[in-house]
Structure formats: C-alpha cells, structure tokens
Amino acid sequence: MGEETVDKLTPTGSECVSNANKEGNGETAEGVKYYTLEEIRAHSVSSDSWLIIHDKVYDVTSFLEEHPGGEEVLLEQAGSDATESFEDVGHSTDAREMLQQYYVGELHTDDRKKEAATEETFSNSESSSWTTWLISAIAAVVVGVVYRYYLLEHKSS
C-alpha cells in the first residue's frame, strides 16, 4: 500500500504515468518513460499540453505563450502527433534544440506500430499511384513509337 503512494508522486504529477509504471510499460532501465496515445490525448488543453514529435513526448504547456507562431498552433496539435506539422513548418536547429527541454518521455512502442502501419499504408498508396502513372507514360511512348513505325512503313510502300 505504501508503494502506491510513492508511485503517485511522480515528477510530472501525472497519475497516468504512475499507472503505466505499475503495469510495467512505463519505465525502462535507461529511465525513459513511455506513454500510450490514450494517456497523451488526456493532455490536450491549454493548462496541460503535450505533443508527440518523432515518437517523443513533449510537455509544451509552459511554452505556449512563448511560441512565435502563437499558442493556437500548438493547441490544435495538443494531445496528438505533431510530427508532420512540425516538419512542414521547417523549424530551425535552435527550435529543435529548444524542444529537448520539454521532453517528458517516448511514445509507447505498441502505439508506434499503429502509426507506422497507417503511414506505411499511405506511402504504399502513394507509390502505387506513382507506379500507375509511370506505366501509363511508358505505354503511351511505346504506342507512339509503334504508330510512327507503321506510319513510316506504309509511306514507303
């Protein structure tokens, strides 16, 4: 019983973290804390904002008012994976280094697989679309060459 009380006194003050640690999926030998998507989604308000960027979890609550793009930009992504948005903006090296001070842990490996599968499906559909276009273009060139060949052959006859 005393162990439960100690577990609830985590540095982040998050009860979700203490529950994860009790279940064995919270902390590794290196001291890295893992959070599930469900736990991270609970941190999506201005008084408690977490983001996932490249499978790392950041508590950006104290940075909301300082963010050059405005706090609304961060709040739109709070509690979810902001990797694509972060990369689309093209943040500077300084911004990437600054991000490290808000680091609280990593996305749980089970949730990484879900996201990777979704991204893989998307990239496969992109490549099949590209492949379809390429095959169509090659077919058009072949038809054009064959047409020219027969056209020239009939003129000479």
CA torsion through residues 9, 14, 20, 24, sign: negative
- Residue with the larger pLDDT of the pair 24 and 81: 81
Within 8 A by CB and 6+ apart from 35, the residues are: 16, 17, 20, 50, 57, 104, 105, 106, 107, 108
Nearest one of 101, 104, 85 to 43, comparing CA atoms? 104
pLDDT tens by residue, 83-105: 888 888 888 889 889 889 999 99
The whole-angstrom separation of Cα 35 and Cα 21 is: 10
Q: Tell me how far CA of residue 72 lies from CA of 23, 87, 139, 144, in angstroms.
A: 35, 17, 49, 54
Residue-wise pLDDT for 43-73, tens only, equals 989 899 999 999 999 999 999 888 988 888 8
* Structure tokens given for 10: 């985590």
- The pTM assigned to this predicted structure is 0.56
